Structure 1
Amino acid sequence: MCLSLNAVPDVLFQHLRISQCLLLHWYDAQPPLRCAILTGTGRAFCAGADLKAWDAKNRGAPGTDAKWPSTGGFGGLSNRHGKKPVIAAVNGLCLGGGFEMITNADLVYALASAKFGLPEVKRGVVAIAGALPRIAQILGRQRASEMAMLGDMYTAAQMRDWGVVNGVVEGSADDLIRAVLQVAEKLANNSPDSIIVTREGLMSGLGGEAPQQATNRVEAGIYQQLEGGDNIKEGVLAFVEKRQPVWKDSKL
C-alpha cells in the first residue's frame, strides 16, 4: 500500500479512511498474503489531515460534513486490531494522523531524514485517532507528554531511541523499501499460523487485560486452532528431518 499524499484533504481523507480500512480487511481475509507494507511517495509519508479543508468545514462549506463509518481510525490503521502484521516504511514527514497510524503498526522502519511529530496542539486540535494512549505505553508518561503537549518534531534516530521506530535506513526511499522488503520476507518465511497467534498475544497486552488473563484467553481461543492445524506439525517435523519447513496458507 502506498500513500501519495502530504496533508490529506477532508473528502479524500474520508474516502481513504474507509477504503484503506476495507483494504486491510481484505488483506486479513486472503490466506496467501502474510505481510503488508505501508509507505508514502514524495516528501511525506503522511502529514495528517488538511487544515485548509478543516477550516472550510468549520465555516460550514458545502460538502464538508460527510461521515464515513470506520473502526480502523485514521487511514484505516490507527485503531486497527486486525489479524496480520503491517509494516510502516516511513519515507518522509510523518505528522499528526500519519504518526497516529505508525503507532499502531507492527513494525516501523524509517529513512534517516524522516521527521515525526504530533503538532495538533499548535493548531487547537487533538491527536484523537488512537496515538495518545499508545505513546503513553510506548514512551512513558513524561516523554509522551513532551511529544503530545509541546508539538515538536523529532528525528528518526530519536524515534528509534524512544522505541517508536525499529530501524533507521540511510539513503533513498528505494533503499528503505529494499530494507523493508527484506524484513517482510523474513517474516513471511515463518509459520503464518504462529505469526497470527503471536500477534494476537501481543495485541492482547495492549488492551488492559492482566497478562495471565490475556494469555489464558489466547490459549483457549485461537491457539487451539493452531494446535489442530497442519503448520505446527510441519514445523516440528521439519526440525526433526533437518530441513526447511514448507508452510501451508493459514486457515486461522
Structure 2
Amino acid sequence: MSSDSDPKNRMGNAPAFKPLSRRLGKKPVIAAVNGLAMGGGCEFVVNCDLVFAAETAMFGLPEVKRGVAPIGGALPRLIRMIGLQRASEFALTGTPISAQQALEWGFVNKVVPVEKVVDEAVKYAAAIAENSPDAIICTRAGLRQGWETAAVERAVEITLEREFAELQKGENILEGLKAFSEKRKPVWKGSRL
C-alpha cells in the first residue's frame, strides 16, 4: 500500500487545521476578517467565538471545486450555526458569500467598514477582558459544550463537572459577589482554571 492510498497521509488530515478547528482552549477567539476567508481560512472563522467582518469580506468553502472536502472541523459546526440547508448550499456549491450575507445567516456577529474591523474586534475583546477570567473560561466552556455536544443536559453536566466546579473554588467568584453587594467594580485575579 503506497502512502498516497493511506488516508492518514493525505492533505485532508493536515495538522495545520486541527489546532483551531478542534481546539479545546479556554480563551475566547475573536476574528477580524478583512478580505477573503476561503477554504481553511473560512474553517478557522467558523470555529471562532466572535467574528467581525469588513464590508468587503468574503467567505467560502471552495474545496469541492477542486475535488477536496472541507474537513477541518467546520462542517458539523456550520450545520448548527446556519442550518442544514444553508450549510449544504455553502459547502456543496463552493460559492462564496458576502459579509452581509454571512451576517444575515448568523455566520458573523457584525459587519463594519474596513477601516474599523480590527478596532471593533479589539473593543469586544476589551469588554470581555473586564469580566472575571474564571467566569469567562467557565461560560465559554458551557457555550462550547452546548455547541459541540448533542444533548443539552449532557453539555450542562460536563460544564458543571469540569469548569464550574473549579470556578466555585476560585477567588474571583467571591470577589464578584462581594463587589456586587458593595456596589463597586470587581478587582479580578488571574485565572487558575
Common fold: TM-score over 0.5? yes
How many residue pairs were aligned?
Answer: 185
3-state SS in 1 of match to 2:114 = coil
- Structure 2 CA distance for aligned equivalents of residues 148 and 192 of structure 1: 36
Gaps of 5+ in 2: 5-9
Structure 1 match to 2:56:
113
The answer on whether the counterparts of 1:120 and 1:126 sit within 8 Å (CA) in structure 2 is yes
The answer on whether the counterparts of 1:75 and 1:101 sit within 8 Å (CA) in structure 2 is no
Identity level (%): 49
Structure 2 match to 1:187:
128
Shift in CA distance, 98/69, structure 1 to aligned 2, threshold 3 Å = closer
Gaps of 5+ in 1: 1-57, 59-64
1:235 aligns with 2:176: yes
The answer on whether the counterparts of 2:18 and 2:72 sit within 8 Å (CA) in structure 1 is no
Structure 2 match to 1:133:
76
Shift in CA distance, 103/124, structure 1 to aligned 2, threshold 3 Å = same
Which amino acid is 1:132 matched to? L
Instruction: Give CA-to-partner distance per residue, 1:151-205, whole Å, 9 cap, x none.
Output: 1111101101111100111132xx2111111111000001110010011111111
**What is the CA distance between 1:240 and its match in structure 2?**
1.1
The answer on whether the counterparts of 2:17 and 2:72 sit within 8 Å (CA) in structure 1 is yes
Shift in CA distance, 146/209, structure 1 to aligned 2, threshold 3 Å = closer
CA RMSD of aligned residues (A): 2.1
Structure 1 match to 2:45:
102
Which segments of structure 1 move beyond 6 Å, counting only runs of 4 or more? none
1:199 aligns with 2:159: no
- Larger helix percent: 2
**What is the CA distance between 1:208 and its match in structure 2?**
2.9
TM-score, length-normalised on structure 2? 0.89
TM-score, length-normalised on structure 1? 0.69
